[in-house]
């Protein structure tokens, strides 16, 4: 078995190889110490500790060919093999090269990164508080099953490059999930709270607990309505396909994330979408695996999408960050739903406004470009409707985003990944007509 060696020995060896073969080399490493605890139906179930490591090697040759290799093996021999795999597989990839060069230019405008701290947040009381909230919720929703998980992750990322630049950052993540299951075993509803922490910025764990407590209380209060969904008969498709829509942040987040990860991005939109490394968000990722600081990247603007920027955030295993959505003509703060409909009515669009809130199911088909989703709630100004399955062209939805209403809030872009999206509490969407 190849021996594990120090990071310094690895980087020195790689930089020697870069000099020998006359190539630019960037090494990105990520190390996660994960502590996980789980409770089920009021009782403690399990805890475990895990150490995960990965690295990404990027090589750019003298003729601007780009090669990359990934590995979870940090032995010196394995890292050296990665270098040769990346060098031998280097090819002309103008889009990836443009992504790397753009991030390298933009990182020069960012403030100096603080030295990696060593202090971890005080979280000893957190499992007890999460257990208390779990037991409180489990007792109220029985006989439905409740599983709660808590992940406390201490993470370190490093970048070392052959141009002499290096970065290192150490931070923590907290992720808490409540998942409710029907007696048949199908997941019914999920609550997810996540935060990140840089040691030098300080962290109040009570803020995480307060958010989790608030969401748990709301879930318990709304559960009778949610549990009725088990017995509801949904419409097979939405009866109002050409009406203007009002979408809440939960739906907007899923749509925006699906669009960012889709290859169908040849659109124009009133929306401006940026990807940013935002300290405090659960998916905080300040260093890009391709060897740069992660700068704010505009992915979509009224002039259209930015292909090189989109390429830098798509399909990278384990990578996450935060998406900002801004819309012009933002409306007033929303005091109540009737106020929202009043504001929407002044936009001058024909048709009955349809408000969609929450997501019970969401899917995107890359081949057809259609997104399908089942909202948790659906209503017009004067009538509460039975939720229906919507199937809409994702590009058309993004083209039709028109204005925002309410304060800026955050939603989860994916059910399983750590991408989050911030935007208006509600967005107004012009009528979406299907393609012929």
| CATH code of residue 11 | 3.30.2290.10
**pLDDT tens, 359-404?**
988 999 999 999 999 998 898 888 888 888 899 999 999 989 988 8
∠ CA 126-202-414, nearest 5°, is 65
pLDDT for residue 19 is more than 90? yes
276 and 364 both lie in a single domain: yes
Q: What is the mean pLDDT of residues 156-181?
A: 92
Residue 181 has what pLDDT?
Answer: 78
User: Residue 185 domain-assigned?
Assistant: yes
Q: What is the mean pLDDT of residues 2-9?
A: 61
User: Residue 292 domain-assigned?
Assistant: no
- What is the pLDDT confidence band of residue 2, given thresholds at 50, 70 and 90? very low
User: Residue 36 domain-assigned?
Assistant: yes
pLDDT for residue 231 is more than 50? no
User: Residue 374 domain-assigned?
Assistant: yes
User: Residue 195 domain-assigned?
Assistant: yes
Q: What is the mean pLDDT of residues 142-163?
A: 92
275 and 413 both lie in a single domain: yes
Residue that wins the pLDDT comparison between 136 and 187: 136
User: Residue 133 domain-assigned?
Assistant: yes
Comparing 68-77, 203-212, 245-254, 321-330, the range with the smallest average pLDDT is 203-212
Q: pTM (2 decimals)?
A: 0.89
210 and 276 both lie in a single domain: no
Residue 220 has what pLDDT?
Answer: 80
User: Residue 147 domain-assigned?
Assistant: yes
221 and 267 both lie in a single domain: no
281 and 373 both lie in a single domain: yes
User: Residue 309 domain-assigned?
Assistant: no
149 and 172 both lie in a single domain: yes
- What is the pLDDT confidence band of residue 98, given thresholds at 50, 70 and 90? very high
271 and 226 both lie in a single domain: no
75 and 154 both lie in a single domain: no
Comparing 127-136, 240-249, 326-335, the range with the smallest average pLDDT is 326-335
337 and 411 both lie in a single domain: yes
pLDDT for residue 236 is more than 60? no
Residue 330 has what pLDDT?
Answer: 63
- What is the pLDDT confidence band of residue 123, given thresholds at 50, 70 and 90? low
Residue 416 has what pLDDT?
Answer: 82
Residue 436 has what pLDDT?
Answer: 46
Q: What's the chain's average pLDDT?
A: 85
**pLDDT tens, 300-325?**
998 889 999 999 999 898 899 999 99
42 and 159 both lie in a single domain: no
How many percent of the chain have pLDDT more than 90? 51
pLDDT for residue 115 is more than 80? no
Residue 347 has what pLDDT?
Answer: 67
Structure tokens at 98: 């443009």
Residue 3 has what pLDDT?
Answer: 46
Provide the residue range defining the domain that includes 266: 245-285+320-429
Q: How many domains does the chain fold into?
A: 3
pLDDT for residue 264 is more than 90? no
Residue 224 has what pLDDT?
Answer: 62
Q: What is the mean pLDDT of residues 162-167?
A: 93
- What is the pLDDT confidence band of residue 45, given thresholds at 50, 70 and 90? very high
pLDDT for residue 259 is more than 70? yes
220 and 99 both lie in a single domain: no
Residue 10 has what pLDDT?
Answer: 87
pLDDT for residue 229 is more than 70? no
Residue 265 has what pLDDT?
Answer: 67
94 and 149 both lie in a single domain: no
């Amino acid at each position: 078995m190849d021996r594990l060696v120090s990071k310094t020995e690895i980087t020195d060896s790689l930089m020697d190889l870069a000099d020998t073969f006359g190539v630019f080399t960037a090494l990105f490493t990520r190390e996660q110490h994960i502590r996980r605890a789980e409770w089920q139906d009021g009782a403690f179930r399990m805890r475990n500790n895990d150490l995960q490591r990965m690295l990404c090697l990027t090589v750019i040759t003298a003729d601007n060919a780009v090669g990359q290799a990934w590995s979870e093996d940090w032995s010196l021999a394995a890292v050296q093999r990665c270098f040769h795999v990346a060098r031998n597989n280097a090819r002309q990839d103008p889009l990836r090269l443009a992504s790397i060069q753009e991030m390298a230019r933009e990182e020069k405008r960012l403030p100096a990164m603080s030295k990696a701290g060593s202090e971890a947040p005080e979280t000893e009381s957190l499992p007890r508080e999460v257990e208390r909230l779990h037991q409180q919720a489990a007792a109220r929703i029985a006989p439905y099953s409740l599983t709660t998980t808590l992940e406390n992750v201490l993470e370190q990322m490093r970048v070392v490059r052959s141009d002499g630049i290096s970065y290192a950052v150490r931070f923590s993540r907290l992720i808490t999930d409540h998942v409710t299951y029907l007696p048949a075993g199908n997941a019914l509803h999920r609550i997810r709270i996540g935060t990140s922490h840089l040691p030098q910025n300080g962290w109040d764990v009570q803020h995480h607990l307060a958010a989790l407590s608030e969401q748990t209380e709301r879930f318990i209060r709304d559960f009778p309505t949610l549990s009725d969904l088990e017995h509801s008969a949904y419409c097979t498709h939405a009866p109002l396909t050409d009406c203007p829509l009002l979408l809440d942040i939960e739906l907007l987040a899923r749509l925006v994330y699906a669009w960012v990860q889709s290859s169908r991005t040849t659109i124009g939109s009133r929306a401006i979408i940026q990807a940013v490394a935002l300290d405090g968000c659960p998916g905080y990722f300040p260093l890009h695996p391709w060897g740069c600081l992660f700068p704010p990247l505009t992915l979509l603007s009224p002039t259209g999408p930015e292909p090189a920027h989109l390429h830098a955030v798509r399909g990278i295993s384990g990578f996450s960050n935060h998406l900002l959505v801004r819309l012009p003509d933002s409306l007033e703060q929303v005091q109540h739903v009737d106020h929202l409909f009043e504001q929407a009515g002044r936009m001058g669009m024909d048709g009955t406004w349809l408000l969609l809130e929450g997501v019970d199911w969401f899917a995107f088909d890359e081949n057809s470009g259609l997104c399908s989703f089942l909202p948790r709630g659906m209503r017009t100004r004067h009538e509460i409707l039975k939720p229906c399955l919507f199937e809409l062209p994702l590009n058309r939805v993004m083209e039709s985003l028109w204005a925002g209403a309410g304060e800026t809030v955050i939603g989860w872009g994916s059910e399983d990944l750590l991408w989050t999206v911030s935007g208006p509490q509600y967005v107004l969407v012009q009528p979406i007509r299907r393609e012929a």
